[in-house]
Amino acid sequence: MDARAVIAKLRRHQVPTAAELHWFAQGLAGGEVSDAQAGAFAMTVCLNGLPAEARSALTLAMRDSGDVLTWDLPGPVVDKHSTGGVGDCVSLLLAPALAECGAFVPMISGRGLGHTGGTLDKLEAIPGLTTQIPQARLSQIVAEAGCAIVGASARIAPADKRLYAVRDVTATVESLDLITASILSKKLAASPEALVLDVKIGSGAFMKTPEEARALATSLVETANAAGCPTRALITDMNQPLVNALGNALEVAEVMRALTGASSPAVEDPLGDMRAQPILEITIALGGVLLHQAGLVESVAAGEAKIAAVLRDGRAADRFARMVAAQGGPLDFAEKWERFLPEAPVILEVTSPETGYVAAIDGEALGLTVVRLGGGRMVESDTVDPSVGISDLRPLGAKLTKGDVIARIHAARPAAAQEAAMALRAAVTIAPAAPAPLPLVYERIG
C-alpha cells in the first residue's frame, strides 16, 4: 500500500477502507509513514472529517498498532476516562470503589495537559509509588488489588503517540475524529468490557460550550460502542474544582479526606451527605453507570448506592491502600497519609478584598497558576513539584467578609507565592449576589 493513496482518498472526500487505515496505523507505529505524510493525513481528516465507520476503523487500527491487553479475571474489566479538568481527582476514588464492588480496573491514565492536572502526577506525589509498571506486573496487581492506575507503556497504541506529536505541531489537535481515535485507541487497548466517559464543560475544562461537549461525548460513545465496548458518557460541570484544592499532593490529601470520611460526617441515608461533596457525587454517578453497564447491578441507582456504601464505610479507602502498596507506595498510607505527603516550604493566605459571594472561578487560570508554581509542566521535560498548589479554595456561592481567606498558596519560594496570589485574586470573581447553583451532571449520553 501507499500512504499517498490513503491521503489522496481523504483529500477527495473518499473513505479509506479499514485495511488501508490499518496499514496506515501500522506505518505510523513502525516508521514507514513519514512525518510529512502523518501531517497531511491529520490535516485532511481535520478539514474533511471522517464518516462514523471510518472513525471506528481508524480507532481500532490505532489500538491494534500496539499491544492489546488480555485478562482472565473473575469479574468484568471496566474503565473511566475524563476529558480533563482542575481539582479533578475522581479516578483515585473511583478505581478502588469499583474494585470493591466486584469490578477490575486497569486504568491507563495520563499526565497533566495544558492547565489540567494529570492522574499519574497526582498519584506519584505518594513517596515510592510508581506508575511505570511492566504489563506482567500490571496483570498481577489488577488480579490481587482489583485496580491499578498506570501510565501507558510505549507498546500501547504507538500509532497515537506518533500522530499526537504530529498533530501538536500541525494545528490539527482539534479534530473531533482524531481526538476520538486518540482517546479510544488507548482506552480500548486495555480491553475494558464497559467504559464510562466524564466529559467536562466549564471554565476549568477544555470544552467551554454544551454543544462542543455533546459533540465529543456523542462521537466517543458511538465509536466505542461500535468497537464493541458498551460505553456511556456523563457531561459534568467543571466551573469549579471538584475538591477545594489544586496541586498533586494537596489533591491526594483531599482524596484521603474523602475516602476516610474526614470531610463528610457519617450519615444514615445510603447516599446521604455525600451528595453535598462534588467529588463524591461525581464518583457515585460515574460508578453507578459503570456497575450497571458491567452487569454487576440491576440499575444505575443500585450501582450508585453500592459505590456510595463502599466510599462511606472505608472499604474503598482500604482498597486504595492496597493499590498504593502494590504500586510501591508506603504499606500504611491509609493510616498515616499526612506524614507521607510532601509539604511546600511557603504557605501564603490570599484574602478577600471585599465582602460578597464567590460568583465565578476561572478554572483554566487557576490550573495555569499551579503549573507556574511548578505543579505541572510548561514543556514535556519539566519535573513536577508535588508539594505546590492551592488549598482551602472557597467554592462558588461561598459568602465572604472582607479579609476572609479565599485560598492558601503552597509554593517553593515567596516570590512564586506572591505571583500566584495575584493570579488567584484575578481568577476568583466576588459579587454582591450569590450565583445560581449549577448541577454537577448536565446530561447523560448513551
In angstroms, the Cα distances linking 169 to 36, 130, 136 are 11, 30, 35
Whether 115 is catalytic is: no
Give the C-alpha separation, 258 to 280, whole Å: 7
Are 175 and 212 spatial neighbours (Cβ–Cβ below 8 Å)?
A: no
Please indicate whether residue 175 is annotated as part of the active site. no
> Given 22, 187, 292, 322, which residue is catalytic?
187
**How many positions of this chain bind ligand URA (CB under 6 A)?**
3
**Where is 180: in which H helix or E strand?**
helix 176-188
Q: Rounded to whole angstroms, how far apart are CA atoms 153 and 326?
A: 18
Specify whether 182 is catalytic: yes
Q: Which three cell numbers stand for residue 426?
A: 484575578
Catalytic, out of 139, 175, 182, 283: 182
Sole residue written with cell 484574602: 351
The binder of ligand URA chosen from 182, 283, 352, 391 (CB under 6 A): 182
We find the least distance from the C-beta atom of residue 179 to ligand URA, in angstroms, to be 4
| Selected catalytic residue, list 63, 81, 162, 319 | 81
The nearest distance, CB 183 to ligand URA, in angstroms, is 5
167 is catalytic: yes
Q: Is the CB of residue 93 less than 8 Å from the CB of residue 274?
A: no
Give the separation between CA 307 and CA 48, rounded to whole angstroms: 43
Q: In the 8-state DSSP scheme, what is residue 280?
A: H
- Identify which range of 96-104, 178-186, 253-261, 393-401 contacts ligand URA by CB under 6 A: 178-186
Q: Which of residues 402-441 bind ligand URA (CB under 6 A)?
A: none
Does the active-site annotation cover 313?
A: no
Catalytic site includes residue 81? yes
Which of the ranges 5-13, 176-184, 379-387, 428-436 carries the binding residues for ligand URA, by CB under 6 A?
A: 176-184
- The b/e string for 349-360 (b: 16+ C-beta within 10 A; e otherwise) is ebebeeebbbbe
d(CA 117, CA 254): 14
Q: Applying CB under 6 A, which part among 69-77, 123-131, 177-185, 330-338 lies near ligand URA?
A: 177-185
Out of 183, 199, 246, 282, point to the residue binding ligand URA (CB under 6 A).
183
Q: Is 179 in the site for ligand URA (CB under 6 A)?
A: yes
- Known catalytic membership, residue 394: no
Supply the minimum distance, in Å, between the C-beta of residue 12 and ligand URA. Answer: 25
Comparing every residue's Cβ against ligand URA, the nearest one is 182
Annotated catalytic residue: which of 79, 177, 237, 385?
79
**Among positive and negative, which fits the CA dihedral 7, 12, 13, 18?**
negative
Nearer of residues 168 and 332 to ligand URA, judged by Cβ: 168
By DSSP bridging, strand 78-82 and strand 194-201 are parallel
What gap in Å lies between CA 156 and CA 62, rounded to an integer?
A: 9
How many residues comprise the chain? 446
Smaller CB distance to ligand URA: residue 174 or 269?
174
- CB 147, min distance to ligand URA, A: 21
Q: Please say if 306 is a catalytic residue.
A: no
- For ligand URA, which stretch binds (CB under 6 A), given 179-187, 193-201, 344-352, 376-384? 179-187
339 phi, psi to nearest 5 deg: -75, -25
Question: Known catalytic residues?
Answer: 79-82, 119, 167, 182, 186-187
Residues that bind ligand URA (CB under 6 A): 179, 182-183
